[in-house]
Structure 1
Amino acid sequence: MTPHLSPVSEHIVNRIAMSLDNASLSLKTPLVVAYSGGVDSSVLLQAVIAFREQFGNPIHAVHVHHGLSDNADDWARHCELQCRLDDVEFHLYRVDVDTGARKSVEAEARKVRYNALLEVCKQIGGVLLLGQHAEDQLETVLLQLKRGAGPQGLAGMGDMQYRGETLIMRPMLALDKADIVAFAEEEMLQWVEDESNQQNSFDRNFLRNEIIPHLLERWPQLTKTVRRSAELCAEQSMLVSDSAQRYYEDCKRTEIRLNGEKLASLSLPWQAMVIRAWFKARGQLAPSKAQADQVLAMLKAKHDATPEVNFKWGRVIRFDQDLYWVVNAVHDIPSSLQLDTNKDIALPWLNGLIRVTLSDERSDDAVTLQTNARNLKVKPENASVSKKVKEWFKVWRIPRWERNAVPVVFLNEVPVALIVSGQCVNLQPKASGIEITFRLD
């Protein structure tokens, strides 16, 4: 028999069940509650316990100890005690927050908190539940407006979304704070108060304490209308993203190279969306409007120019009319290397493995590798003439930043092959009894 639930608890239980069903997950999926001990997460945990009574799923509560407050130890003890009383698996994570110069304490704390929460979800195969509510959504949209965000930013927080392979749910997003507090008081829940919530030096606290109360006093339905606007922006953003993904796939030559001619044929707004889709596919944050404009401006550079735009992870460079994704080097390039035969040898600067096989190997055979051999004269297979390696680079249109890394393989000091653009190019005259293969790792 289903127990009687209050409207707040019933709403949360129904949202959890609906989200699990929409994600094609079992109602018995482990639920991981982000449990700070505040009123919002306390109400969420209470509702999740009610969900467990119906479906019997495992519950885990994660408390992240930032060490930023003198009361942090007391909060952790409170959360652990509540979980023991309610037979909830408790996880305490102590984290270090980077409070150095030019660092946002809010952003750094959020980052380490999410890392801890997602780690637990990954370990147990659970979904993450967050206690954000309607006023939190209003804060988020207002902050995005301040930052000049587009439809994607103005969509605010989603009821459900994935971060990596972990499903994140916000089943309280349509609930008003007043209703949440009223429920907590009726149920006589115990919770903690974070004194930092009164520090208006933080943007969210300033909005929460100084601005939003006046807005709601003037327009009581504002959280609902903003939620509706956020949902419309989310729908619009999804449609735009789907179209941008199709344009991106059409412009993509490889994962790290875009067809500049096709990209330039699109309208400027779609060009920018393709660039953002490229960054997303490469696992990087979307560029700012100014950065995207810089990247797109390279399409109009002179034919023989190789302009570039720098990012923390590396560069976007235009070469031979196309755009290339070039990450910062993490491996040194050796000038020469002795190669063992008949085994895979890692070439980390190329992210691959080379294997040299000699069918009739002699004890004095020596297989070596040499990079930056630009002035070496070679004749690739299927070529009718010999040229210096640097001239073949131009023929093959090898980007300038890749040229120093191209290795030439020698057998007894005679060049027999090059590794170019992830492929092995044999040289003439072809040495008998030798086979060279290269594959990306």
Structure 2
Amino acid sequence: MPKSKNSSSEKKAVRGITTRVRAALENTARQLQLSADGLPIASGEKPINVVVAFSGGLDSSVLLYAASQLKGKSYGEITAVHVHHGLSKHANEWAEFCAERARKYGVNFVLRKVTVPSGGAGFEAEARQLRYAVLEEEAKKAGADAILTAHHLDDQLETFLIQWMRGAGPAGLAAMPPLLRKDGCTIMRPLLGFQRAELERFAEIRGIKWIEDESNEDTKYLRNAIRHNIIPELEKIRPGFKAAAARSVELIAEAAETLRDVAEDDFKQASENEGKYLRIEDFLALPAGRRARVLRLWLDRVGFKPLPRVRLLEIIRQIKETTKQSVCLLFSDGLEIRKYGSRLMVTEHEKPESEAEIVLEWNGESEIDLPQYNGKLVFTPAEEGFNEGYLKAQPLSIRRRSGGEKIKIHKFRPRKALKMLFQEAGIPEFERKNLPLVWRGKTLIYVGGVGSEVREQVDDDGTPRYRIEFIKNPGLFS
């Protein structure tokens, strides 16, 4: 590694970069002592406990060194976490190097070995998700206030270009925030204001050692191709463009935050039942440009995977044009987006495991599980219901609705077709196929969600009476 020159300008530059790195780490600690939405992250002037993502490369080596210099001042316990992917022939050497550096800096060290599965979201994305999962686990174990990662300005610009090439919106183009709080985890990136060249200079000044990962030179990965082929050309065309481009990313991040706030307000106006449903009239009353944002926000809240904009626009088109009372707009990963009446809802898609009839003998059990229907039959002692002797005299059979069935559930009203009774009970059409029908011989005696055949409860043989009820298992939208 080259050594710095001895000159007055060089010494001034040395002082400048050293001061800036220290100030960045001190500012990070101060931010973590503040609160988000009134919830304290750390109290008073207590030193902050952190986990540092430590690969052993230049960036994370600078970060770990700088944090260790503030141990006992701005920072309390510092834990360096090295994730061993086992993908390089040098992986074991890197792990040993990281352990030695952690000892030298007087910080805790954790080595975690992981296996990156192939396929799915792509190799790089899979590896990144695994790393963050490990970091979050170790942060919880260590009682850390935050996770520090060493992303810098060059990483930020690479991320922006990757998102731009993918056609991302403002949220994606905003790249990486300096502070992210999500699901009880706080991630901070103290070095986002530094270019890689500045961090390399700092490392040289302080005599910081680091390792080089040969995979960072492989341009078959998009980020590496941008780093080695695109960024240098942009620098040639407009020297010093990085600082200006970083300001653009910050402005996009501010715009994205404003759009999120607007979407939150629109969502509150158009949703009901604690955000589980969207009222179609209020949703369509929004300006066209805001509907997709509200739809994306709602789907995220109810657990649906992110959809590309073209799919969101297609769903909105169907909502506007369909005249059906109930229609599935999209099905994915066991969930479906459904228009039902004047509302949009996300429901769990339940495909019947088997259409075969279930035959059973009731022997007084209080519950009978029906996994094919994702629920259970409950038999409860009651003043009005079926006699115990009646239920035990013949086997009971469980079937799905086939069409044309009728049942009398009120003493002084005629029997009705199930379709009419389902409508009166407000049971959506898409849920009806998953409700069990209980038969005794050729007589329908109970319909899930509707009720029991009252004419089969008239005779009294003197045995206790039981009420039958179908109860669905708790689910995502119960």
Q: TM class by shorter-chain length?
A: 0.7 to 0.9
Out of 65-74 and 132-141, give the one that drifted further: 65-74
The one-letter code sitting in structure 2 at the alignment partner of 1:386 is R
CA distance in 2, matches of 1:381, 1:250: 40
CA distance in 1, matches of 2:142, 2:19: 30
Q: Does residue 73 in structure 1 map to residue 92 in structure 2?
A: yes
Shift of 1:224: 2.8
Superposed CA offset, 1:35-82 (max 9, x none): 110010011111221232214522211111112211111111111122
Who is 2:27 aligned against?
Answer: 15
The one-letter code sitting in structure 1 at the alignment partner of 2:204 is E
CA distance in 2, matches of 1:182, 1:53: 26
Who is 2:467 aligned against?
Answer: 434
**Counterparts in 2 of 1:176 and 1:416: CA distance versus 1, 3 Å:** same
Q: Does residue 403 in structure 1 map to residue 432 in structure 2?
A: yes
CA distance in 2, matches of 1:317, 1:405: 16
Who is 2:41 aligned against?
Answer: 25
Q: Does residue 282 in structure 1 map to residue 294 in structure 2?
A: no
CA distance in 2, matches of 1:13, 1:407: 62
The one-letter code sitting in structure 2 at the alignment partner of 1:10 is R
Out of 290-299 and 377-386, give the one that drifted further: 377-386
Shift of 1:408: 4.3
- Corresponding residue to 1:292 among 312, 316, 328: 312
Q: Does residue 201 in structure 1 map to residue 220 in structure 2?
A: yes
Normalised by the size of structure 2, how large is the TM-score?
Answer: 0.79
Out of 148-157 and 349-358, give the one that drifted further: 349-358
Out of 343-352 and 37-46, give the one that drifted further: 343-352
Who is 1:324 aligned against?
Answer: 345
The one-letter code sitting in structure 2 at the alignment partner of 1:15 is N
Shift of 1:298: 1.3
**Counterparts in 2 of 1:333 and 1:16: CA distance versus 1, 3 Å:** farther
CA contact 1:317–1:324 (8 Å) conserved in 2: yes
- Corresponding residue to 1:370 among 390, 398, 415: 398
Return the index of the structure with the highest Cα Rg.
2
Superposed CA offset, 1:316-360 (max 9, x none): 233335333233448847854867868566666776676432158
CA contact 1:342–1:358 (8 Å) conserved in 2: no
1:147-158 correspondence to structure 2 within 5 Å: 147-158=166-177
Who is 2:209 aligned against?
Answer: 190
1:132-143 correspondence to structure 2 within 5 Å: 132-143=151-162
**Counterparts in 2 of 1:329 and 1:68: CA distance versus 1, 3 Å:** farther
- Corresponding residue to 1:115 among 120, 133, 141: 133
Shift of 1:402: 1.6
CA distance in 2, matches of 1:50, 1:116: 25
Superposed CA offset, 1:281-313 (max 9, x none): 023442111110121111133412725223345
The one-letter code sitting in structure 1 at the alignment partner of 2:247 is R
Normalised by the size of structure 1, how large is the TM-score?
Answer: 0.85
1:31-42 correspondence to structure 2 within 5 Å: 31-42=50-61
- Corresponding residue to 1:392 among 409, 414, 421: 421
Q: Does residue 308 in structure 1 map to residue 320 in structure 2?
A: no
Out of 328-337 and 158-167, give the one that drifted further: 328-337
CA contact 1:139–1:204 (8 Å) conserved in 2: yes
- Corresponding residue to 1:179 among 191, 198, 202: 198
1:211-290 correspondence to structure 2 within 5 Å: 211-254=230-273, 256-290=276-310
CA contact 1:294–1:309 (8 Å) conserved in 2: no
Aligned partner of residue 192 in structure 1, secondary structure: coil
The one-letter code sitting in structure 1 at the alignment partner of 2:217 is Q
Shift of 1:259: 2.3
Indicate the percent of aligned positions where both proteins have the same amino acid. Answer: 28
CA distance in 1, matches of 2:48, 2:446: 55
Shift of 1:381: 5.6
CA distance in 2, matches of 1:103, 1:39: 27
CA contact 2:354–2:372 (8 Å) conserved in 1: yes
Out of 26-35 and 41-50, give the one that drifted further: 26-35
The runs of 5 or more residues in structure 1 that have no matched partner are none
CA distance in 2, matches of 1:391, 1:418: 13
CA distance in 1, matches of 2:295, 2:366: 40
**Counterparts in 2 of 1:412 and 1:307: CA distance versus 1, 3 Å:** closer
CA distance in 2, matches of 1:439, 1:313: 17
Shift of 1:382: 9.8
